[in-house]
Amino acid sequence: MQLDTRASATPAPVNRLSRGRAIGVAVISLLAALGVGHLVAAFVGPSSSPYVAVGNWVRDISPQPVVEWAKNTFGTADKTVLFIGVTIVVIALTVAAGLLSRTRPGPGLVVAGVQGIIGFVAVLSRPDLGQLGILAPAASMGVGLVVFNWLHAKAWPAEQDREGRRAFLRASAGVVIGAGAGGVIGQLAGNHVDVEESRAEVGRLVPASPAPKLPPNADFASSGSARFITANRDFYRIDTALTLPRVAAQDWRLRIHGLVDKPVEFTFDDIRERALIERPVTLSCVSNEVGGGLISNADWIGVPLRDLLMEAGVKPGADQLFSTSIDGFTAGTPIDALLDANRGAMLAIGMNGEPLPQEHGFPARMVVPGLYGYVSATKWVVDMELTTFADKQGYWIPRGWSVKGPIKTESRIDNPQDGTTLKAGTNTIAGTAWAQTVGVRRVEVRVDDDWHDAQLSTEVDVNTWRMWRVRVDLKPGSHRLQVRATDNSGYTQTDAEAEPAPDGATGWHTVDVSVD
Ligand SMILES: Nc1nc2c(c(=O)[nH]1)N[C@H]1C(S)=C(S)[C@@H](COP(=O)(O)O)O[C@H]1N2
Ligand SMILES: [Mo]
């Protein structure tokens, strides 16, 4: 059949794509790139998924003041905020790629290529990804560029007629469905580890040497102090993990190597079949402000880290244990603290009678009394290298935190809270004090200008916090309450106020109350 070309009005030749279509080409290509990247990542290492890797990378390269600001402003929601921020930037770049490509694909391909390179850099900067990790950003970038070019070509006929528009829509829908399917399959395949199932399979951990039975006066919770044992769900949580590592107990291995006589490797069963000990240890974060809540206490179940290190045989030149989490977080711990039998550093697999909760490091983590978490408490720990402080730096050290992180003797008023109105007469002030490894000897509470000695709770262990309370007579008016602890080394907390960075906050916790 002859087509009568004269009958259909020849459309004016277009020399640029409509804005919407140009942006559509770019956004759909981005979806294809992310979907394929996520799919490939599921098989070579979930954190190599370009989007996740870029989020992690931005977190790691953010200037310290920005990180601190985000932590203070958003708290634990800082991770969500980071992902939203990354999403906005990626979408803005993609829209720009589309708008720059209304006449030819070249400029958009360049912008897409730059995004791809960022994905590459992000994945390559992860210490936890093997060589295969680069397959995900490679696939992502390749697919992104090819789809962009191909859809861009399909977009021209769509400017001309209905047939072209239909073909373009079909192509776009095909890509979107494919990308979605790739992403979903990647998500399912990458998340095949069911942590709760693995925790249930581990079941009850029975310590050969259980924690001491708590004396009746282990805390003054009835007077408003913190409870001696922090419930797992209330235990403070701090980590850099944007997505919680999912490790099944049967897949977990711990390698101890470096400056040792013979490298050793342990499975989860190797650890749990040893004589387990259970000990209360108070963990604390160097970022904790005076009076803050980044401190908690649990009964940890595990094995002495010292025993594992002795089996490997630590060579004389080693002064640092460099531990690595499955997600790439690292910490450098002084070996002295780990080999000191009295200190009781542990490889912990249980917390308050249960296998470790996922957010506290399941299947295994380090717990070292007396050291802030950033230098000692690696969660999801899989690797321990005996090395020197001169050779390697843990995650937070190049970010401005001190190399050694001994916990400072501190105290906190838990009751009353700042700004409370109290009744005139006798009131009970209660709180918490800690001086891990030496123990708290004395706590004094200052009401305006008078110091009062507080009653101490029965000491459970020098590695845990100790509660205190004191009854004071308050007259109507405004009053300032302050607290200071003295530890068994004879040190009394300084009143000099210091920020958490670089090695922990100092100062007396101060609470202002009014009395009717
Ligand atoms: N894998 C990993 N372990 C980690 C961290 C981390 O970011 N990643 N943060 C450390 C810090 S700074 C602290 S204070 C403790 C907190 O342990 P928690 O979350 O169980 O209270 O974990 C430590 N272990
Ligand atoms: Mo921390």
Q: What is the CATH number of the domain that holds 383?
A: 3.90.420.10
Calculate how far, in angstroms, residue 307's C-alpha sits from the geometric centre of ligand 1: 23
Ligand 1 site, residue 379, Cβ cutoff 6 A: yes
| Ligand index nearest the alpha carbon of residue 373 | 1
Whether residue 472 is found in the same domain as residue 433: yes
Calculate how far, in angstroms, residue 153's C-alpha sits from the geometric centre of ligand 1: 50
Ligand 1 site, residue 240, Cβ cutoff 6 A: yes
**Residues spanned by the domain of 266:** 202-387
Whether residue 178 is found in the same domain as residue 218: no
Calculate how far, in angstroms, residue 378's C-alpha sits from the geometric centre of ligand 1: 6
DSSP 161-197: -HHHHHHHHHHHHHHHHHHHHHHHHHHHHHT---HHH
Is 404 inside a domain boundary?
no
Ligand 1 site, residue 59, Cβ cutoff 6 A: no
| 126, 239, 381: residue to mutate for ligand 1 pocket, most atoms within 8 A of CB | 239
Is 3 inside a domain boundary?
no
pLDDT score for 13: 63
Q: Are 327 and 241 in contact (CB under 8 A)?
A: yes
Minimal CA–CA distance to 370: which of 503, 490, 462? Answer: 462
Whether residue 176 is found in the same domain as residue 47: yes
Ligand 1 site, residue 23, Cβ cutoff 6 A: no
Whether residue 50 is found in the same domain as residue 168: yes
Is 13 inside a domain boundary?
no
Last residue of a domain, one of 141, 160, 190: 190
Whether residue 265 is found in the same domain as residue 158: no
Q: Are 386 and 257 in contact (CB under 8 A)?
A: yes
Spatial CB neighbours of 370, under 8 Å, sequence gap ≥ 6: 337, 343, 406, 407, 436, 437, 463
Whether residue 173 is found in the same domain as residue 213: no
Calculate how far, in angstroms, residue 373's C-alpha sits from the geometric centre of ligand 2: 5
Nearest Cα residue to atom 4 of ligand 1: 378
Whether residue 417 is found in the same domain as residue 503: yes
Calculate how far, in angstroms, residue 131's C-alpha sits from the geometric centre of ligand 2: 30
Ligand 1 site, residue 237, Cβ cutoff 6 A: yes
Last residue of a domain, one of 190, 222, 254: 190
Whether residue 110 is found in the same domain as residue 178: yes
Is 7 inside a domain boundary?
no
* Residues 331, 337, 339, 342, CA torsion sign: negative
Ligand 1 site, residue 285, Cβ cutoff 6 A: yes
Ligand 1 site, residue 329, Cβ cutoff 6 A: yes
Calculate how far, in angstroms, residue 372's C-alpha sits from the geometric centre of ligand 2: 6
Spatial CB neighbours of 365, under 8 Å, sequence gap ≥ 6: 347, 348, 356, 377, 378, 379, 380, 381
Is 393 inside a domain boundary?
no
CATH of residue 453: 2.60.40.650
Nearest Cα residue to atom 16 of ligand 1: 238
Query: How many whole angstroms separate alpha carbon 206 and alpha carbon 239?
Result: 28
| Low-confidence spans in the chain with pLDDT less than 70 | 1-13, 127-130, 191
Q: Which atom belonging to ligand 1 lies closest to the Cα atom of 360?
A: 20
Calculate how far, in angstroms, residue 223's C-alpha sits from the geometric centre of ligand 1: 30
Ligand 1 site, residue 238, Cβ cutoff 6 A: yes
pLDDT score for 209: 98
Calculate how far, in angstroms, residue 374's C-alpha sits from the geometric centre of ligand 2: 5
Ligand 1 site, residue 183, Cβ cutoff 6 A: no
Ligand 1 site, residue 333, Cβ cutoff 6 A: no
Whether residue 211 is found in the same domain as residue 247: yes
Whether residue 175 is found in the same domain as residue 242: no
Calculate how far, in angstroms, residue 239's C-alpha sits from the geometric centre of ligand 1: 5
Whether residue 327 is found in the same domain as residue 447: no
CA distances from 140 to 48, 125, 147, 376 (A): 11, 17, 11, 37
Task: Please give the model's pTM, rounded to 2 decimal places.
Answer: 0.85
Ligand 1 site, residue 218, Cβ cutoff 6 A: no
Last residue of a domain, one of 190, 218, 234: 190
Q: How many structural domains is the chain composed of?
A: 3
| Ligand index nearest the alpha carbon of residue 245 | 1
Ligand 1 site, residue 257, Cβ cutoff 6 A: no
Is 158 inside a domain boundary?
yes
Query: How many whole angstroms separate alpha carbon 330 and alpha carbon 340?
Result: 22
Residue pLDDT, tens place only, 74-123: 877 787 888 888 899 999 999 999 999 999 999 999 999 999 999 888 88
Written as six digits, the tokens of 15 are 């020399």
Rg (CA), the chain: 29
Is 228 inside a domain boundary?
yes
Written as six digits, the tokens of 278 are 């259970």
Residue pLDDT, tens place only, 434-490: 999 999 999 999 999 999 999 999 999 999 999 999 999 999 999 999 999 999 999
Q: Which atom belonging to ligand 1 lies closest to the Cα atom of 296?
A: 21
Is 294 inside a domain boundary?
yes
Helix axes 50-61, 78-99, angle to 10 degrees: 110
Query: How many whole angstroms separate alpha carbon 90 and alpha carbon 30?
Result: 9
Q: Are 338 and 306 in contact (CB under 8 A)?
A: yes
Whether residue 112 is found in the same domain as residue 226: no
Ligand 1 site, residue 360, Cβ cutoff 6 A: yes
| 238, 242, 366, 375: residue to mutate for ligand 1 pocket, most atoms within 8 A of CB | 238
| Ligand index nearest the alpha carbon of residue 500 | 2
The total of other beta-carbon atoms located within 10 Å of residue 311's CB is 13
